[in-house]
């Protein structure tokens, strides 16, 4: 004879298993809007990837009650809402004028009523608020300027003032804007990329040599090395105008204006031969020739 209690316990166990399998996943997967939405800012500065993820609190009628009240002065602030605000770099950079290794960091600040704020980067990116903030895990601190700003209802991070080797990380909320200068070493990374591209260049890949020489020219790097690359491009593609044009400009950087004019004329002749009198760069090359001829006379 079967035990009634055993049957009861088996039934309850089966019911709970079914409940967990059917109902709990739907509860865990429930997706509801946050009062402070998730935000993300991505930007490539030069060749360096920068990413900021953060919660975006809103003023919600609390104008004049944010700084020094909702966000106390002199206390570590999460600089956002919900999870830690996270700042990521895929290369070594300078932040606020100080060196910082590539990586992922929790971004916190210490707001001040007057003067600069303290920017803190902490290795614990799993923080929620600052309840478990551990100063011994700080990787970096720097001062940053704060200035009055046009009213911003919902906090925003942006990466502005973009230059080939720099930018500014800007946090705007309510009446203030925090600005953190960022510097990247674009030239060093570009040189590494060029060296790798040259090493792996195919025999017919004249454009890799031209682009590499052109970058060195524009950034006034080793002109002799750039000339070696452009000579290789001319060997591969002697009929094209562009290698002669870059070679002319490199020679002009070395003050060899006579050779610069000769190569500019080769670029002009090659371009007109290929495209006729409508050659798109005819005027630009002619202007260079005129400028260099003037310098030869002086």
Q: How far apart are CA 262 and CA 289, in angstroms?
A: 9
Q: Per the confidence metrics, is the pTM higher than 0.85?
A: no
pLDDT number for residue 1: 46
Residue with token string 């990466």: 159
The whole-number pLDDT of residue 18 equals 53
Question: With 50 as the cut, is the pLDDT of residue 167 above it?
Answer: yes
pLDDT digits (tens, 9 = 90+) for 108-130: 999 999 999 999 999 999 999 88
Tokens of 198: 């040259």
- The third-level CATH classification (topology) of the domain covering 187-297 is 1.25.40
pLDDT of residue 34: 76
Average pLDDT over residues 159-175: 97
Q: Which of 113, 108, 110, 48 is nearest to 79 (CA)?
A: 108
Domain spans of the chain, in order of start:
38-184, 187-297
Confidence of residue 10 (pLDDT cuts 50, 70, 90): very low
What average pLDDT does range 139-144 have in this prediction? 95
CB-count burial class (<10 Å; 0-12, 13-18, 19+) for 297: exposed
32 backbone dihedrals φ, ψ, rounded to 5°: -120, 150
The band of 3, judged by pLDDT with boundaries at 50, 70 and 90, is low
**For residue 2, is pLDDT > 70?**
no
| pLDDT of amino acid 23 | 52
Classify 260 as helix, strand or coil.
helix
The percentage of residues in the chain with a pLDDT greater than 90, rounded to a whole number, is: 84
Average pLDDT over residues 212-236: 97
User: For 45-79, b where at least 16 C-beta lie within 10 A, e where not — what string?
Assistant: bbbbebebbbbbbbbeeeeeebbeeebeeeebbbb
189 has pLDDT over 80: yes
């Amino acid at each position: 004879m079967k035990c009634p209690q055993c049957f009861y316990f088996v039934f309850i166990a089966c019911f709970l298993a079914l409940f967990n399998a059917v109902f709990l996943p739907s509860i865990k997967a429930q997706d509801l809007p946050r009062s402070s939405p998730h935000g993300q800012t991505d930007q490539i500065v030069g060749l360096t990837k920068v990413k900021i993820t953060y919660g975006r609190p809103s003023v919600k009628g609390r104008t004049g009650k944010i700084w020094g009240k909702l966000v106390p002065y002199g206390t570590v602030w999460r600089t956002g809402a919900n999870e830690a605000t996270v700042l990521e770099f895929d290369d070594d950079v300078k932040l606020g004028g100080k060196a910082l290794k590539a990586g992922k960091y929790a971004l916190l600040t210490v707001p001040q009523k007057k003067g600069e704020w303290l920017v803190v980067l902490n290795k614990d990116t799993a923080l929620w608020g600052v309840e478990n903030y551990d100063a011994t895990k700080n990787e970096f601190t720097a001062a940053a300027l704060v200035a009055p700003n046009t009213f911003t209802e919902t906090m925003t991070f942006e990466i502005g003032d973009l230059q080939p080797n720099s930018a500014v990380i800007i946090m705007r909320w309510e009446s203030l804007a925090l600005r953190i200068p960022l510097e990247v070493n674009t030239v060093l990374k570009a040189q590494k990329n060029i060296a790798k591209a040259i090493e792996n260049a195919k025999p017919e890949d004249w454009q890799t040599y031209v682009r590499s020489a052109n970058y060195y020219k524009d950034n006034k790097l080793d002109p002799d090395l750039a000339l070696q690359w452009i000579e290789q491009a001319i060997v591969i593609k002697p009929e094209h105008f562009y290698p002669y044009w870059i070679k002319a400009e490199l020679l002009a950087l070395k003050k060899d204006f006579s050779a610069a004019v000769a190569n500019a004329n080769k670029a002009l002749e090659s371009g007109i031969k290929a495209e006729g009198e409508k050659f798109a760069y005819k005027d630009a090359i002619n202007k260079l020739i005129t400028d260099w001829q003037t310098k030869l006379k002086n």
